[in-house]
Amino acid sequence: MLKEISEKQFWETYKSLPEELQEAIFSEKTAEIIFNICTDNEIEDLRISKIAKCVGRTLLGFLPPEQLQPTLELDLDIASKTAENICQAIYSSILEPVRAQLTKLYLTSNKRKESSLEEGASSSVKKQTEKKEEISPAGGAKEKEKSFDSYRESIN
């Protein structure tokens, strides 16, 4: 299911986008293309607006292009072949002209996610280290961890 985006979040994200993506989001041409693609694939009015919303989320960086087809199938209950046809037309008509900007957008987005994951992982490691220190012997002398290295001989 599509996660809701607040109006504030939408506008903050929109303002940070390159001009080409901003234009594509509110372009009359984009709306016409989506309408024509949907009518060619016998999609009725209510789902046309939902498909347009999905395309908008893709252009904003909230829905990766590779997730567009599964989203149409699962969230909008569109048959797999129909969703594939719609997505191919959307990719070639709407997303391809702004592919370079989308690539940058999603690379930047993924780096931010990776960075936050790394920060989360490092804090998790830090917490584990703190727990190990709490468990160390009472005399204050911490035992050195012994590890086995199968590639080296032991030194006595």
Residue 7 clears pLDDT 70, i.e. is over it: yes
Mean pLDDT to the nearest integer, 21-45: 94
Range 82-114 burial, b when 16+ CB lie within 10 A, else e = ebebbbebbeebbbeebeebbeebeeeeeeeee
Mean pLDDT to the nearest integer, 139-148: 48
Residue 144 clears pLDDT 70, i.e. is over it: no
- What pLDDT does 2 receive? 73
As a whole number of angstroms, the distance between CA 144 and CA 53 comes to: 57
Mean pLDDT to the nearest integer, 130-153: 48
As a whole number of angstroms, the distance between CA 28 and CA 34 comes to: 10
Question: What pTM was estimated for this model as a whole?
Answer: 0.69
Residue-wise pLDDT for 81-133, tens only, equals 999 999 999 999 999 999 999 999 988 766 555 544 455 444 444 444 444 44
- What pLDDT does 152 receive? 54
Domain residue extents for the chain: 29-119
Average pLDDT across the chain, whole number: 80
**% of the chain surpassing 70 pLDDT:** 69
Mean pLDDT to the nearest integer, 58-83: 94
